[in-house]
C-alpha cells in the first residue's frame, strides 16, 4: 500500500548544514499553509495509505491546533489503514508535553526527534537551536506523553566532532527510551552556511578515514546495544523499523503533499513547487512530471533496494519487471561478489559491510 508524506516547510531557524526547503520567519502564513495542504489532500480523496509521515522543516514548530488540523485532514481525506504508522518529526525545544499528548491523541504513534549530537559544542558548531539537555528532555517528554515508538537522529562527520564525542552521544542515545536511531554522515550540500564556513577554513571536517571509522563505530556500537542496521543509515530495535521510509527503498509509491514535496504515483515522479507563495496560490500543481519507464524502474529498484541490509529481492524483481535480475546485471553482480562488495543470500543480493561504505561506486555500474 502507498504512503503519505506531508511537508512542513517552517523552521524557527535553519540549521547551518540544511539544504531542505524550509523557511524561517513565515509563521504568519501558517494558517494559510494548513488550508492549502487540506485542499491538496482533496485531489487524492479516498486513496488508501498505511503510513503517514509529517516531515520538515520542523512540524512541531507549528501550533498544536495546526498539527491537529493537518493530521485530522489526512485521516478524513485519505483512506488511512487502522494500524497505520503515523510519524511526526520533532525538534527539541519546539514540543512540550501538551503538544506531544495532543499529537498522540490525534493519531500520531511515532516520533522522530532531531537530536544530532549530545555534545553542546558540536550542536552549536552546526547551528542547532537546542542543547543536549533539551534533546534528552524532549525524548523523556515523548515517553511520558505515551509514545512507544520514538526515533532519534544522530549525525557524524561533523566539524569539531571527535570520535569520543560521537561514541559518547551514541552510548547516551542507547540508554534513552528510543526504539529507532537514524545516523547520518554529514553531507556538505552546496550553498549552505556550513559549507561556506568550511570552504573559508573557519571549520574543519574530520578526514575521510576518520569519517569511515566513525561510521564503523556507529554500526558496531548500535548493534551491541540491540539496534540492528536495516538500511545504510537506519537502525532499529526488532520490529521497530520505519515502515514509511521502507516504502522508498522498496520502490512503493507515495503521495507527497505540501511545498517541495515529491510524489511517486501511478508510475510518475513529480513534485510540488518549493515557492511558498506559489504553493499557497495553487497547491495542486504538479511539476517535472517524469514517467518512470521500465529501465528507470529497474535501476531505481537496485539503487534503493541495495540500501537495505537485507538487499534487493530477486523474486520480487522478476515478479515486478517480468525478467530476471541476474539477466540484467549478471556482470556487475558477479564482479562485485568476487571482490567481496556484494553478497548473495538466498533470494537477496545485498552489500557486504565493506560494500556499503563504497556503495555509490558500485551502484554506478547498475546504470
Partner 1 sequence: MDKQNNIRNFSIIAHIDHGKSTLADRLLEKTGAMTEREMESQVLDNMDLEKERGITIKARAVRLKYRASDGEDYILNLIDTPGHVDFNYEVSRSLAACEGAVLVVDASQGIEAQTLANTYLAIDHDLEIMPVVNKIDLPAAQPELVIEEIENIIGIPAEDAPKISAKNGIGIEDVLEQIVKIVPPPKGDPEAPLKALIFDSVYDAYKGVIIYFRVIDGSVKTGDRIRLMSNGVEFDVVEAGYLNPSGFLNSGVVKTGEVGYLTASIKSVSDTRVGDTVTLATRPAAEPLAGYKQVNPMVYCGIYPADGAKYDDLREALAKLQLNDASLAFEPETSVALGFGFRCGFLGLLHMEIIQERLEREYNLDLVTTAPSVIYKVKKTNGDMLDISNPSNLPDPSEIDYMEEPMVNADIMCPTEFIGNIMDLCLERRGLYKNTTYIDATRAQLHYELPLNEIIYDFFDTLKSRTKGYASFDYELCGYQQSDLIKLDILLNGEMVDALSFIVHSTKAYARGRRIAEKLKENIPRQLFEIPIQAAVGNKIIARETVKALRKDVLAKCYGGDITRKKKLLEKQKEGKKRMRQVGSVEVPQEAFMSVLKIDE
- Residue ranges binding partner 1 (CB under 8 A): 5, 7, 184-187, 208-209, 211-212, 215, 232-233, 245, 248-249, 254, 256, 260-264, 269, 271, 288, 290, 299-300, 303-304, 307, 339, 341, 356-361, 363-365, 367
Give me the least distance between CB of 298 and partner 1, in Å please: 12
217 and 162 in contact (C-beta within 8 Å)? no
Q: Name which of 31 and 310 has its Cβ closer to partner 1.
A: 310
Give me the least distance between CB of 53 and partner 1, in Å please: 9
Give me the least distance between CB of 206 and partner 1, in Å please: 11
Secondary structure E strands in the chain? 2-8, 10-11, 23-24, 48-56, 79-90, 110-116, 149-156, 180-185, 228-231, 234-236, 254-257, 262-265, 268-271, 287-291, 312-313, 342-345, 348-351
Instruction: Give the number of other Cβ atoms within 10 Å of residue 319's Cβ.
Output: 9
Write the CA distances from 34 to 10, 38, 79, 91, integer angstroms. 12, 6, 19, 19
Q: Which three cell numbers mark 178?
A: 528510543
Q: Name which of 108 and 341 has its Cβ closer to partner 1.
A: 341
Give me the least distance between CB of 260 and partner 1, in Å please: 7
Nearby residues of 319 by Cβ (< 8 Å), 6 or more positions away: none
Give residue for cell 511537508.
Answer: 7
Q: Name which of 147 and 254 has its Cβ closer to partner 1.
A: 254
Q: Name which of 104 and 301 has its Cβ closer to partner 1.
A: 301
Q: Name which of 102 and 292 has its Cβ closer to partner 1.
A: 292
Q: Name which of 262 and 314 has its Cβ closer to partner 1.
A: 262
Give me the least distance between CB of 188 and partner 1, in Å please: 11
Q: Name which of 252 and 278 has its Cβ closer to partner 1.
A: 252
Give me the least distance between CB of 227 and partner 1, in Å please: 17
On the CB side of 194, CA atoms within 13 Å amount to 23
DSSP category for residue 308: B
Give residue for cell 524557527.
Answer: 12
> Residue 119 in 3-state DSSP?
coil
Give me the least distance between CB of 367 and partner 1, in Å please: 5
Q: Name which of 103 and 306 has its Cβ closer to partner 1.
A: 306
Nearby residues of 189 by Cβ (< 8 Å), 6 or more positions away: 17, 19, 195
Give me the least distance between CB of 150 and partner 1, in Å please: 19
d(CA 173, CA 170): 5
235 and 227 in contact (C-beta within 8 Å)? yes
Amino acid at each position: 500500500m502507498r504512503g503519505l508524506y506531508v511537508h512542513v516547510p517552517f523552521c524557527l531557524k535553519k540549521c547551518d548544514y540544511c539544504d531542505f526547503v524550509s523557511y524561517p520567519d513565515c509563521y504568519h502564513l501558517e494558517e494559510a499553509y494548513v488550508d492549502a495542504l487540506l485542499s491538496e489532500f482533496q485531489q487524492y480523496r479516498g486513496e488508501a495509505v498505511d503510513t503517514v509521515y509529517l516531515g520538515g522543516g520542523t512540524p512541531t514548530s507549528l501550533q498544536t491546533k495546526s498539527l491537529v488540523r493537518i493530521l485530522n485532514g489526512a485521516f478524513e481525506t485519505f483512506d488511512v489503514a487502522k494500524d497505520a504508522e503515523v510519524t511526526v518529526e520533532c525538534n527539541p525545544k519546539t514540543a512540550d508535553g501538551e503538544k506531544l499528548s495532543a499529537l498522540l491523541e490525534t493519531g500520531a504513534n511515532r516520533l522522530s526527534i532531531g537530536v544530532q549530537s549530545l555534545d553542546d559544542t558540536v550542536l552549536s558548531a552546526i547551528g542547532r537551536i537546542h542543547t543536549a539537555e533539551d534533546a534528552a528532555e524532549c525524548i523523556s517528554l515523548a515517553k511520558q506523553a505515551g509514545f512507544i515508538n520514538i526515533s532519534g537522529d544522530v549525525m557524524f562527520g561533523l566539524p569539531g566532532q571527535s570520535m569520543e564525542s560521537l561514541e559518547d552521544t551514541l552510548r547516551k542515545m542507547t540508554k534513552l527510551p528510543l526504539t529507532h536511531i537514524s545516523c547520518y554522515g554529514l553531507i556538505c550540500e552546496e550553498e549552505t552556511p556550513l559549507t561556506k564556513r568550511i570552504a573559508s577554513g573557519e571549520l574543519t571536517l574530520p578526514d575521510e578515514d576518520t569519517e569511515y571509522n566513525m561510521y564503523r563505530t556507529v554500526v558496531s556500537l548500535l548493534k551491541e546495544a540491540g539496534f540492528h542496521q536495516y538500511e545504510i543509515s537506519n537502525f532499529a530495535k526488532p520490529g521497530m523499523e520505519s515502515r514509511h521510509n521502507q516504502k522508498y527503498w522498496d520502490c512503493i509509491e507515495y503521495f507527497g503533499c505540501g511545498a517541495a514535496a515529491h510524489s511517486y504515483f501511478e508510475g510518475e515522479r513529480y513534485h510540488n513547487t518549493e515557492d511558498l507563495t506559489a504553493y499557497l496560490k495553487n497547491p495542486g500543481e504538479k511539476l517535472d512530471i517524469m514517467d518512470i519507464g521500465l529501465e528507470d524502474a529497474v535501476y531505481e529498484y537496485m539503487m534503493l533496494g541495495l540500501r537495505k541490509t537485507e538487499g534487493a529481492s530477486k523474486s520480487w524483481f522478476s515478479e515486478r519487471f517480468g525478467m530476471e535480475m541476474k539477466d540484467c546485471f549478471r556482470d556487475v553482480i558477479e564482479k562485485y561478489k568476487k571482490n567481496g562488495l556484494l553478497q548473495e543470500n538466498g533470494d537477496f543480493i545485498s552489500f557486504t559491510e565493506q560494500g556499503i561504505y563504497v556503495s555509490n561506486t558500485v551502484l554506478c555500474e547498475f546504470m
